[in-house]
């Protein structure tokens, strides 16, 4: 089974062309994404036909869970689909079907730009089990001996943003991240972003992704961090976000759709020689 490995600012993915849903994709994701026993990746991306758009994306995390949306992943998939002739530009863009809805992606000179949708700010939209009026900018939560105050929102998947004044490199994300991810406040688990505003146009962000752990980059996480900072009046509508894997650019005017831009690159391609297509419902 042929695969291609791609990355966007260090957020790496294995892409497979697939025709149907009748396979045990979670088991394949666990096997292929394993950093020592498989190829290694932050997620398995399925490039599939769509009846609603030019191409469809499904994404599975290394633990086998399925994500609704992935900003860096959809940028990689859009470039792959265009390069392989699986989709064509229409009005300069490609539309991708995701579990979070239809997403528009534009090629740029240095990468891909994607419409991330309108941030969802109500508790039931995140979801988070609190009774508060949106936006949710100060949700209290105790984790790893710390009292946190989180901004909670959805960018097609749930996010909790912790704004800090210390360098993000100094934050104990490996200790706090798992406890926040699995906290009872979040019935579908949550991604945690630790973010520091350097000035009104620059932020530093680290991300603990649900089902993955800490990653070098996260597109929805970078977007969520900028939205949270913008809602607090700390940044303007165009922000450069520095993550461990590189730079992403986020735009949000405070009302409508947010946009994410950044580079995408190929790493390698090859053949998976393990159990290629475990059938759904089969042995794991």
| Catalytic machinery residues | 70, 218
Pairing of strands 258-262, 238-243: unpaired
Cα separation, 13 vs 33, in Å, equals 8
CA neighbor of 235 nearest in space, from 222, 217, 220: 222
Pairing of strands 2-8, 66-67: unpaired
Q: How far is CA 239 from CA 2, 9, 52, 98, 206, in A?
A: 37, 16, 32, 25, 15
Cα separation, 256 vs 242, in Å, equals 23
List, in sequence order, the alpha helices (H) in 134-265.
Answer: 173-181, 219-231
């Amino acid at each position: 089974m042929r695969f291609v490995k791609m990355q966007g600012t260090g957020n790496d993915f294995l892409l497979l062309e697939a025709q149907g849903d009748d396979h045990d994709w979670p088991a394949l994701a666990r096997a292929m994404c394993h950093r020592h026993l498989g190829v290694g990746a932050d997620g398995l991306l399925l490039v599939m036909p769509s009846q609603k758009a030019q191409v469809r994306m499904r994404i599975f995390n290394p633990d086998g869970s399925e994500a609704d949306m992935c900003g860096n992943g959809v940028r990689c998939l859009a470039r792959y689909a265009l390069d392989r002739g699986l989709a064509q530009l229409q009005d300069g863009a490609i539309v991708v079907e995701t579990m979070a809805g239809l997403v528009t992606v534009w090629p740029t000179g240095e990468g891909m730009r994607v419409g991330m949708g309108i941030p969802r700010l109500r508790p039931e939209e995140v979801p988070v089990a609190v009774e508060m009026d949106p936006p949710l900018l100060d949700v209290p939560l105790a984790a790893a001996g710390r009292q946190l105050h989180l901004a909670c929102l959805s960018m097609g998947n749930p996010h909790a943003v912790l704004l800090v004044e210390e360098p993000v490199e100094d934050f104990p994300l490996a200790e706090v991240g798992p406890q926040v991810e699995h906290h009872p406040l979040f019935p579908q688990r949550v991604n945690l972003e630790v973010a520091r505003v350097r000035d009104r146009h620059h932020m530093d962000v680290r991300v603990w992704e649900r089902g993955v752990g800490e990653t070098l980059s996260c597109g929805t996480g970078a977007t969520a961090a900028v939205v949270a900072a913008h809602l607090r009046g700390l940044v303007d509508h165009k922000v450069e976000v520095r993550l461990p894997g590189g730079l992403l650019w986020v735009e949000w005017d405070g009302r409508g759709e947010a946009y994410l831009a950044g580079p995408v690159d190929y790493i390698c391609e090859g053949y998976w020689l393990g159990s290629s297509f475990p059938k759904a419902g089969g042995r794991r």
